[in-house]
């Protein structure tokens, strides 16, 4: 063999190896670097939220907090910041509020504690970070970001995650920092209804005891998508139960090539039906719009299976859709410099 033919044979071998290891579909996107239509959408949980069970004062308080969270993210986007910074800013405002089942207002476990879950995903790189069952982290979404950026892992849980938080210099609090009277009352009512750990009794529990997760999705001026979700899980959860919120593909998903999704609802169904990733796969492979993909999964797939809840979705062009199959979902959105939409009920 001449030197040249040895070189040619080596080249063929290298390119064969490379193509065998390349993904069939190049996920994510690079920056498009033009003035993209930026957009943000947030949720504060879905469930039996009707005018009859929310006073005017409560409604005003929820709308004010949703607006504050939306504006925080929107300002970052309008100034040319990243969708990652925008979703974190929006979620942290809701984590700090006792109104929502995340951070400060997290629900109680059956044993009277709080165990928090959160996750984040970057649609440009498909990097992700998640934490589950943490009890002392003031901002679980901040920890999820640290896991994504500063660890070699995607998901950390329990005491290990808390040790990592300390090493990363994140604020830790005692578990009773998350105590609120209204969530405590919900636990008492739920425990009365549950008695022993009965599967059917738990399924029959009114969803006001279950939901309230927060989340945000955004696309920035560079065309990059991000999604973030943070929760206390479900009231009276036991045995270290973990829901969909920290599970990448179930409660959270972002891919520049399709869309970004954050979910809220009965987590077990969102895990089994892989809701967030399923919506984005429909956009990516079937060419569905975010409306078509979101409505199909929430109304035609999830509901007949018994799964209740909703999602917020944004795509790279700034299209926003927020479908839910419950009576209400705390939600807000704003596309570019357009109108701010804040809503709670179905109509
Ligand atoms: N999806 C959350 C969970 O199952 C609950 C919620 O959305 O409020 O943990």
d(CA 23, CA 41): 30
45: CA distance to ligand 1 center in Å? 8
User: Has 213 been annotated as catalytic?
Assistant: yes
Q: What is the CATH number of the domain that holds 180?
A: 3.60.20.30
CB atoms within 10 A of CB 163: 11
24 falls within a domain: no
Note the pLDDT of residue 17: 44
Domain presence at residue 9: no
In a domain, 5, yes or no: no
Cβ neighbour number for residue 111 with a 10 Å cutoff: 11
Whole-angstrom Cα Rg for the chain: 21
Tell me if 267 CB under 6 Å of ligand 1.
yes
In angstroms, what is the span from residue 215 Cα to ligand 1's centroid?
A: 11
Cβ–ligand 1 distance for 136 under 6 Å, the answer no
Size of the chain, expressed as the number of residues it contains: 347
Q: How far apart are CA 330 and CA 49, in angstroms?
A: 8
3 is a domain residue:
no
pLDDT of residue 270: 98
| Distance of alpha carbon 148 from alpha carbon 136, whole angstroms | 19
* Structural domain range at position 162: 30-345
For ligand 1, say whether the CB of 333 is within 6 Å of any of its atoms. Answer: no
Total domains, the chain? 1
**Of the candidates 295, 297, 325, which has an alpha carbon nearest to the alpha carbon of residue 310?**
325
What tens-digit pLDDT sequence spans the chain (347 residues)?
A: 455 555 455 544 444 444 443 333 444 444 544 457 999 999 999 987 888 888 999 999 999 999 999 999 999 999 999 999 999 999 999 999 999 999 999 999 999 999 999 999 999 999 999 999 999 999 999 999 999 999 999 999 999 999 999 999 999 999 999 999 989 988 888 887 776 556 666 666 666 666 689 999 999 999 999 999 999 999 989 999 999 999 999 999 999 999 999 999 999 999 999 999 999 999 999 999 999 999 999 999 999 999 999 999 999 999 999 999 999 999 999 999 999 999 999 97
Residue 17 resides in a domain: no
- State the pLDDT at residue 198: 62
Could you tell me the CA-to-CA distances from 290 to 296, 312, 326 in Å, in that order?
10, 10, 19
pLDDT value for 35: 57
Domain contains 6: no
CA distance 273 to 171: 34
Q: Is 43 annotated for ligand binding?
A: no
Which pLDDT score is estimated for 212? 80
Is position 80 within any domain? Answer: yes
Output 271-274 pairs: Cβ under 8 A, ≥24 positions apart: 271/243, 271/244, 271/247, 272/305, 272/307, 273/297, 273/301, 273/302, 273/305, 273/307, 274/249, 274/250
Is 4 part of a structural domain of the chain? Answer: no
Pairing of strands 320-321, 328-335: unpaired
pLDDT of the residue at 47: 85
């Amino acid at each position: 063999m001449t030197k040249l033919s040895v070189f040619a044979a080596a080249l063929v071998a290298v390119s064969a190896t490379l193509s065998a290891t390349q993904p069939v579909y190049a996920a994510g996107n690079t920056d498009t670097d033009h003035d993209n239509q930026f957009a943000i959408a947030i949720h504060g949980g879905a469930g039996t939220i009707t005018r009859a069970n929310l006073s005017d004062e409560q409604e005003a308080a929820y709308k004010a907090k949703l607006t504050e969270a939306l504006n925080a993210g929107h300002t970052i986007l309008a100034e040319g910041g990243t969708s990652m910074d925008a979703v974190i800013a929006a979620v942290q405002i809701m984590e700090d509020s006792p109104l929502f089942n995340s951070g400060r207002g997290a629900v109680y476990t059956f044993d009277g504690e709080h165990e928090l879950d959160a996750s984040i995903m970057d649609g440009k790189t498909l990097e992700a970070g998640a934490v589950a069952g943490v009890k002392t982290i003031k901002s679980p979404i901040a920890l999820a970001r640290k896991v994504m950026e500063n660890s070699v892992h995607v998901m950390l849980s329990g005491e290990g995650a808390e040790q990592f938080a300390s090493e990363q210099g994140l604020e830790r609090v005692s578990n009773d920092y998350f105590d609120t009277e209204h969530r405590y009352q919900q636990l008492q009512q739920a425990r009365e209804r549950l008695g022993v750990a009965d599967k059917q009794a738990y399924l029959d529990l009114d969803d006001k005891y279950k939901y309230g997760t927060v989340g945000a999705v955004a696309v920035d001026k560079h065309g990059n998508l991000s999604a973030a979700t943070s929760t206390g899980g479900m009231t009276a959860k036991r045995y270290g139960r973990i829901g969909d919120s920290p599970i990448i593909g179930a409660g959270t998903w972002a891919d520049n090539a399709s869309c970004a999704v954050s979910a809220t609802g009965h987590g077990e169904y969102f895990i089994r039906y892989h809701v967030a990733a399923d919506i984005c796969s429909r956009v990516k492979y079937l060419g569905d719009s975010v409306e078509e993909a979101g409505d199909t999964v929430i109304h035609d797939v999830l509901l007949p299976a018994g799964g209740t809840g909703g999602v917020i979705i944004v795509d790279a062009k700034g299209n926003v859709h927020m479908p839910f199959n419950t009576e209400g979902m705390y939600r807000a959105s704003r596309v570019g410099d357009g109108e701010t939409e804040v809503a709670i009920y179905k109509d």
